[in-house]
Chains A and B, each alone.
Chain A
Amino acid sequence: MGGHREKDDGALLRAVAAGDQAALADLYDRHAGWLHARLTRRCADPEVVREVLQDTFVTVWRSAAGHRGAEAGGWLWTIAARRLVDARRAQERTARGAPEAEAAAVPSAEDRVLAGLEYGDVGTALDRISPELREVLRATVVDGLTTRETARLLGIPEGTVKSRARRARTELRAALAQLNPSPLGGPA
């Protein structure tokens, strides 16, 4: 595990950018486990998960110098999520090409989910909406993917992603209203 244990992520990334392989190993030990678990929750194929994980850290090795500011964990997940979408698309390329469309803006009910996630008050509400709506919410809100990327990840048309996101918002708002009889207008 080496002498990098005490370093924070930023220092590790700077060392990786400078070509320090031990720092890459430490970064891997710190983050690869949860990235693997998170990818596994989103992709049933262990081979794809494995490839995406490896691609992610190879990308980190090549482009750690390009990392700016953001939390290292969030940055790693961004790379991994994009690689996962790419892997899915490569799998489905033989099937048919998806139509192009613009990414949708993240609506406000979803922002509330994001703000509430770490405090648990939305958890019960999320439990009440159906699994396929939850899947869309997870991809767009938790994983920060665009509509287009979500469609590729889940293998459904973009129109379906949009309509499910709309329905998820409505259902979530209803579920939240049931949990909190007081109006939702207050500071979230």
Chain B
Amino acid sequence: MSRQWHTSEAQAARYAAGSLPEPDAWSLERHLESCADCASRVSAAVRATAAGAVLADVRAAVLASAVREVPVSRFARLLWAAGPAVRGAWSAALLVVAGAALLLGQFRGAPEARTLLLALAPVVPVAGVALSYGPHADPLHELAASTPGGGLRLALTRTAGVLAVSLPVLTLTGLLLPASGAPAAAAWLLPGLALTLATLALAPLTGFRTASAVTACGWLCAVLAPSPDEIGARLARCLDGAPAQSAWGAAVALSALLLAARRTAYDRTH
């Protein structure tokens, strides 16, 4: 249907020189999108103009970056996709939290260190999610978000990357701190997951950074304020025992449902 004509050398030359009038140029442009022969002909005509030097320069630059950037396997690309946060400052922040908890454990007695670690841990993946998705995280964001499945799927891939790194590191750190009286080292997992999913569900409405700020501050206020002295007791109430953990499990399920209900919103936000 679209191959009923081909461009002539003369027309290609006029287009290359920028002197083809608008309607004819549009027609040719649409045609070039689907006809490789005419694309070659017009490109050759453009190379013959003053733009030839620029084209040669860009060609060299593109090939040079192709040499530097050897395409990687699907798995490695997935890891890369999983990670503006994982490969950036967030990883450092994660190590700082874990390291500080260990140091504190050395100097100040274990229950306090583990309590602080558990109070901060649920916020760490939320911060990772905030840094993982959106125009500020990714120079190719607009392109990525506009590809099929680029929106929510990408956000979930990156969240999985953040969780895959933070869950083991923080839980192992907790285990290294002996538990006298503080909640179990894995007690933060469900709250962390619930806050992360809630952030994802909220993000299409407010943007990732605001959503993260809301959930993270909500948690920190609930645990740290009003009197920091009673963190231990308050944290124990939030995390210890089957009722508390079941409540967090319900929160996870609720957030997941909300996210599923709002998944189309991801196609409309950038």
Give residues in A with beta carbon < 8 Å to B.
Answer: 8-9, 17-19, 21, 24-25, 28-34, 36-38, 40-41, 46, 49-50, 53-54, 57-59, 61-62, 65-66, 71-74, 77, 79, 82-83, 85-86, 102, 114, 117-120, 122-124, 126-127, 134, 138, 142
Contact = CB atoms under 8 A, between A and B. Distances in A.
Interface of B: 2, 4-5, 15-16, 18, 21-27, 29-36, 39-40, 42-47, 51, 54-55, 57-59, 61-63, 65-67, 69-71, 74, 77, 140, 142-143, 146-147, 268
A14 to B, nearest CB: 12
Contacts of A29: 40, 43, 59
Contact of A74 (B22, B34, B74): B34
A118 B2 contact: yes
Secondary structure class of chain B's binding surface, majority of residues: helix
A82 B143 contact: yes
Contacts of B55: 32-33, 36
Contacts, number: 143
Contact of B26 (A32, A49, A82, A138): A138
Nearest to A58: B65
B69 A82 contact: no
A49 B58 CA distance: 11
9 contacts: A21-B66, A29-B43, A30-B40, A33-B43, A40-B18, A41-B18, A118-B31, A123-B24, A123-B27
Nearest to B5: A118
A18 B73 CA distance: 9
Contact of A61 (B46, B47, B65, B142): B65
